[in-house]
Amino acid sequence: MDTRSNDNTRPKARGNALSNQLLAALGPESRSRIDPHLQPVTLKLGAVVCEAGGLLKHAYFPQGSVLSLLTVLENGSAIETANIGREGAFGLFAAMYSRASFNRCIVQLEGRMVRCPIELLQLEFKNSEHVRNLFVSYSETLLSQVQQTVACNTVHTTEERMCRWLLMMHDRAEGELLTYTHEFLAHILGANRKSVTLAAQSVQAAGLISYNRGTIQVLNRPGLEKASCECYAIVKDRFDEFLKPPETAVQDTVKRQSNNE
């Protein structure tokens, strides 16, 4: 854990801050075949990586950036159902089963990212039991985030949802500042701009964040966690477990739940 002297603390990223945990977990043989084909990608905030229904030629592995998966409705509106940081990748379903994207994927936080041709990952998935287990475990974890986000968007307040989202971004950001407008937050959260503005004002008045001209800084991390709904902790715990062997992950989860009862 990152032990800072003020309240603005966040969980420290495991390993190299610029690495991708999923890539690192592939194993030396798979990495020796994949690494020569990794290509750095630089995209701006809000850039579209792939549209819903689009064909994927690459999988994308954030190394400091964050990608947002949006469900797009017939009238053109969209809402975030999951986000992907340095713990995972966008495009693994394409590597395992099909090459079509179910969601629109956009850049939610600028930063480093690499991409890998889908064909290479398909071969590794086909030939390596370790890679199959890893990809399936991550995909199940991402699905659990989608399910938790659906519940969160349905029953929790805009303020709670905003706190959850800011915590997730704060975990992954390389710096302390987050650059988002109220309009962007409303789009991501599936809320109207007025409710997002009121929520941001409330959180700022409580001394949890500062907000100035589209720049957000977390001032009181523990307070922000307390103001968030339970969804942040649930999703974070699940992602902390996905790299472990299935039996170990289940045992740790059951033990933690028992301690909380």
pLDDT mean across residues, the chain: 84
Letter for the amino acid at 122? Answer: Q
Window from 9-13, 77-81, 256-260 with minimum mean pLDDT? 9-13
Question: Given a cut of 70, is residue 72 above it in pLDDT?
Answer: yes
> Is the predicted pLDDT of residue 161 greater than 60, yes or no?
yes
At 38-55, the pLDDT tens digits run 999 999 988 999 998 888
Averaged over 211-222, what is the pLDDT?
88
* pLDDT over 70 at 63, yes or no: yes
pLDDT above 70 (res 3): no
Q: State the average pLDDT over residues 113-130.
A: 93
Is the pLDDT confidence value at 239 over 70?
yes
Q: Which residues pair with 18 in a beta bridge?
A: none
Q: pLDDT at position 261, please?
A: 53
User: What pLDDT is stored for residue 245 in this prediction?
Assistant: 58
The pLDDT confidence band at residue 174, using thresholds 50, 70 and 90, is low
- State residue 258's pLDDT score: 54
CA atoms of 145 and 235, how far apart (whole Å): 6
